[in-house]
Amino acid sequence: MLKLGFQIDDTKEKGIDKLYYKVNGNQPIPEEMLKYQKLIGKSFNYRRETIPIFSDNELKLLTMPTVLFVGAKDIMLYSDKTARRLGGLLPHAEINIIAEAGHSNVSDVNKIIAWLNFNS
């Protein structure tokens, strides 16, 4: 009985790992990132309502330095559509579509930090 319970837990854990792998654009996930994502999954109260979308007029009011980092393989949000919309509304925005990234972007941390340091 205990052995069967362990097998079910092990299968569930492998399924969760596959889900996070898919969410991350089918890219390898650093062990610390995977642990962090699992912790969020256990503790976070997920949004149940639709994500609010700012109007074009509201977005056009943004005058501060603006950057967008999105993964081309994001299965949760429409990255390409978001990038085109923001780029069209804010000509000063820096748009970064990371070809191999999914919803979480762990490969361009240095680029993100450099942008934040330059614009702070």
Q: What is the pLDDT of residue 63?
A: 95
Q: What is the pLDDT of residue 44?
A: 80
Residue showing tokens 């579509």: 97
For residue 43, how far is the Cα from the chain centroid?
18
Mean pLDDT within 100-116: 82
Q: Is the per-residue pLDDT at 5 higher than 80?
A: no
Between 20 and 79, name the one with better pLDDT: 79
- Buried/exposed code over 68-97 (b: 16+ C-beta within 10 A; e: otherwise): bbbbebbeeeebeebbebbeebbeebebbb
pLDDT digits (tens, 9 = 90+) for 74-97: 888 899 999 999 999 999 999 999
Mean pLDDT within 96-102: 88
Q: What is the pLDDT of residue 9?
A: 65
